[in-house]
A and B are shown apart, each in its own frame.
Chain A
């Protein structure tokens, strides 16, 4: 098997996909999070400002989902196909909510009528909360494994089996994590009374996060004993949960010092460390089979050919710096507090 920097191609692509989904979680984390606070803002102007804080950015942030999905399809077609068809209902709901969310952003401020805005506000809030929740649910289901039999055929329940207690817990944790991230982001983009209201809301959000995070961690350790195997095997890897814990603890500290920029960095790091935790525990498995480990989808049986992975790694080497350049330029252009003008939503 061909290698690059000592890692085989499937492992490298695993890192690429992981990186893309971390980027997605961090960037859309504050977008979805900001939206999950939407109904907590009372005045119409506050809601407009909150939407315009993500206005020029959300479409670009969403590209991380598109590229991540493409990367999964490209590098691990078996994983892409098996996961999406097994989790048909949650993914269809997720996609539909994405459409509703985009529509809400585009159309909310297009009309003045209160009923119109209220309807879109509710749609916007609900879709952001549910999208975040479903992302957690999918992650939890992957961690718990699927009923995959021979030939990657899924034999589990089709409608509501994805909503098990653990999935609900991780779903809520994701919502709380995104809400924290979103509130910190909005604090960077707002001023005046909305800013003051957000400092109050952020405190609630952090409490919500710490409670659900602690409960989920406890549940994981008690009910999913297998989840810690990898860490017992390689004690050195305990450094990641430790870092995650430190990052989590650092967020309230920085918030209390009003260093919101740094707080955003550390809440983003929290997400990356938590995802690394999941990635490390699973590797090289992508989708554990609860029927037999032989049927699990791994990065090796799911991967595209060496040739194809090589081409795609080349594409990434060329494309990633370009993408980074676009994003730097975009974020630099829209740096600073929101100012509404004739181009705003």
Chain B
């Protein structure tokens, strides 16, 4: 196979695997901050038990996130050397800031968070929890800024020609706050909160169904449900704002998301569909003019379609972009419905009476994860054929001196090691969940030993 394709497969695989973990760390981080904060405020030991329990799962998640993240940091250089030289001046400062401000904060406090229970006061421990959480939030900022700059470059100029060409910063803050970064950071944070909240919802729904740890599970479930309801609703706003930005800054991507080909015509909004790139037709359930309405608040307003761009300057995998985008939206809508309904029951005081609802929650853990993944797939595949939108093509960005055999070698290594890592992750998280926050059978009041 070609070097470029292999490099792309490797990048997609390693980043998708990596992206299972940081959102969980961010989301669980916030929930632990709330739980430990409640403990400090109320002195209720049940919150301490919950914090300690989720900390164990957080530790594994965070660890795998860091380990697979280091690989990403160096993979730009190994597999995308031309791209790295091109964007280093811009991307680099974001990465340096991330390392110093975000990773320094989170990793130093992580030691205290995980091993400091018996060494520091509860207040200092809480500060460490907050430190790790903030660190993970910061790291999301810088990495999304860098990616957003690739989508919507700003605050730069191109220096040099041919091989020597590269982007250089002219305005740091314009680079940081490029047209898409704010919307996308918020959207990514929200996706992360949902990933964490739904893991907590799932595990405690499982306990409630089994009749285990009932009291603390109700507390945890309510914390996570409150968070999930607010976030899934507000994510609509950031999502909409993000799409409006795409309409202005990356029209080819927007057109691909809805399979809209006509150069200039009102565009439809599909609930579900299938794009045939050859015949340029979409089969599915649609709201005519819906996309026009979303972007321009007018069903008749034309939207630039894919055919307005030369064939080699628009995404090739239109159907894939369409599907990934629509899966994300459908999941988002489902989560809104689910959390709103559950919140209604909570308000009525009958939340924990409906077994079927708890069962849905127990399985829903997979949904935000899936939405996070396909959302990124849509964003990244929709940017193609550009690696830096409008400036550098993906097929120019990879390392010219690296052979396909080398990449094949590392790809196989990644497959083996990551498969093992994933199995270990599932095994150990499952074991911790099965074991529970404390050994209920032996000693139902075990958590009181902390009193």
Please say whether chains A and B are actual partners in one complex: yes
Give A residues with C-beta under 8 Å from B: 55-57, 59-60, 62-63, 65-67, 69-71, 73-78, 80-86, 88-89, 91-92, 95-96, 98-100, 102-103, 106-107, 110, 151-155, 158-159, 304-305, 307-308, 311-312, 315-316, 319-320, 322-323, 326-327, 329-330, 333-334, 341, 343-344
Q: Identify A81's interface contact among B68, B82, B421, CB under 8 A.
A: B82
**Pairwise interchain contact A67-B100, C-beta atoms closer than 8 A:** yes
Complex formed: what's the CA distance from A329 to B63 in Å? 21
Which chain A residues border B159 with CB–CB below 8 Å?
305
Q: Nearest Cβ distance between residue B17 and chain A, in whole angstroms?
A: 11
Q: Counting chain B CB atoms within 10 Å of each CB, which of A77, A100, A102, A323 scores highest?
A: A77
Report yes or no: A102 in contact with B114, Cβ–Cβ below 8 A.
no
Contact indicator A63/B168 (Cβ below 8 Å): no
Asked if A99 and B88 make an inter-chain contact with CB atoms under 8 angstroms apart, the answer reads: no
Q: Which partner residue on chain B sits nearest A59 by CB separation?
A: B107
Most buried by A among B172, B405, B420: B172
B93: A residues at CB distance < 8 A:
74, 304, 308, 311-312, 315
Contact for B77 among A73, A319, A326, A333, CB less than 8 A: A73
A236 to B169, CA, bound (A): 39
Q: List 10 A-B contacts (CB under 8 A).
A: A63-B107, A70-B92, A84-B74, A92-B409, A96-B417, A100-B417, A152-B85, A315-B93, A315-B101, A329-B112
In the complex, chain A residues whose CB is within 8 Å of the CB of B101 = 315, 319, 322
B99 at the interface (CB under 8 A from A): yes
B interface, over-half SS: helix
How far is A311 from B176 in the complex, measured between Cα atoms in Å?
12
Whether A153 lies near B400 (C-beta < 8 A) is: yes
Q: Are A99 and B71 in contact (CB under 8 A)?
A: yes
Which of B67, B76, B77, B117 gathers most chain A CB within 10 Å?
A: B77
Given A77-B89, A320-B100, A327-B108; 9 other pairs, CB 8 A cutoff: A56-B115, A81-B82, A85-B401, A86-B401, A88-B406, A92-B413, A153-B400, A308-B168, A343-B116
Chain B stretch 59-75: residues in CB contact (< 8 A) with chain A? 59-60, 63-64, 66-71, 73-74
The number of chain B residues with a CB under 8 A from chain A is 75
Q: Is the CB of B163 within 8 A of A151?
A: yes
The verdict on B130 contacting chain A, using a C-beta distance below 8 Å, is: no
- Given known pairs A85-B399, A304-B92, the reply for A95 and B71 (CB within 8 Å) is yes
Cα–Cα distance between A145 and B30 once the two chains are bound (Å): 48
The proximity string for B residues 40-82 relative to A, scoring 1 for CB distances below 8 Å and 0 otherwise, is 0000000000000000000110011011111101101111111
Q: How far is the CB of B451 from chain A (nearest CB, A)?
A: 16
- Looking at the assembled complex, report how far the CB atom of B88 sits from the nearest CB atom of chain A, in whole angstroms: 2
B binding-site residues for A, Cβ under 8 Å:
59-60, 63-64, 66-71, 73-74, 76-82, 84-85, 87-93, 95-101, 103-105, 107-112, 114-120, 159, 163, 166, 168-170, 172, 399-403, 405-406, 409-410, 413-414, 417, 420-421, 424, 428, 431
| Contact A319–B104 (Cβ < 8 Å) | yes
- On chain A, the residues within 8 Å of B98 by CB distance are 70
CA–CA, A85 to B108, complex, Å? Answer: 31
Contact of A69 among B73, B109, B399 (CB under 8 A): B73
Known: A59-B107, A63-B107, A88-B410. A330 touches B89 (CB 8 A): no
Residues of B within 8 A of A320 (CB): 100
Asked whether B169 lies within 8 Å of A311 as measured between CB atoms, the reply is yes
Instruction: Tell me, in angstroms, the Cα distance from A323 to B115 when the chains sit together.
Output: 20
By beta carbon, the residue of chain A nearest B68 is A99
Most chain B beta-carbon neighbours within 10 Å: one of A81, A322, A334: A81
Give which listed residue, A65, A307, A343, contacts B169 with CB less than 8 A.
Answer: A307
Contact between B118 and A67, CB atoms less than 8 A apart: no
Query: Which residues on B sit within 8 Å (CB–CB) of A56?
Result: 111-112, 114-116
B118 touches A343 (CB 8 A): yes
Q: Give the docked Cα–Cα distance between A341 and B93 (Å).
A: 41
Q: Which residue of the partner chain, among A63, A80, A326, contacts B88 with CB atoms under 8 Å?
A: A80
CA of A102 to CA of B118 in the docked complex: distance in angstroms? 24
Taking the closest CB of chain B, its distance from the CB of A7, in whole angstroms, is 19
Residues from chain B with a CB closer than 8 A to the CB of A151 are 163
Do residues B66 and A74 form an inter-chain contact, with CB atoms below 8 A?
Answer: no
Q: Which residues in A have their C-beta under 8 angstroms from that of B417?
A: 96, 99-100
In the complex, what distance in Å separates the CA atom of A51 from the CA atom of B107? Answer: 17
Most chain A CB neighbours (cut-off 10 Å) among B78, B166, B420: B78
Contacts of A323 in B (CB 8 A): 100, 104, 108
A57-B111, A81-B82 known; A66-B88 Cβ under 8 A: no
A63: contacting residue among B91, B92, B108, CB under 8 A: B108
Is B96 a contact of A98 with CB atoms below 8 Å?
no
Interface centre among B63, B88, B401, B428 (most CB of A within 10 A): B88
Residue ID in chain B nearest A327 by CB atoms: B108
Q: How far is the CB of A22 from chain B (nearest CB, A)?
A: 16
CA distance A159 to B406 in the complex (A): 8
Find chain A residues with CB under 8 A from B409 CB.
89, 92
- For residue A88, which residues in chain B have a CB less than 8 angstroms away from its CB? 78, 399, 402, 406, 410
Tell me if B399 and A66 are in contact (CB < 8 A): no
Which chain A residues border B168 with CB–CB below 8 Å?
Answer: 304-305, 307-308
| B119 pairs with A334, CB closer than 8 A | yes
In the complex, what residues of B have CB within 8 A of residue A327's CB?
A: 108
A106 contacts which chain B residues (CB < 8 A)? 59-60, 63
Contact of B81 among A82, A102, A322 (CB under 8 A): A82
Q: Which of B81, B92, B119 is within 8 Å of A312, CB to CB? A: B92
- Chain B residues closer than 8 Å to A341, beta-carbon distance: 118
Residue in contact with A155 in the complex, picked from B82, B96, B401, CB distance below 8 Å: B401
Alpha-carbon gap, A158 to B64, bound state (A): 29
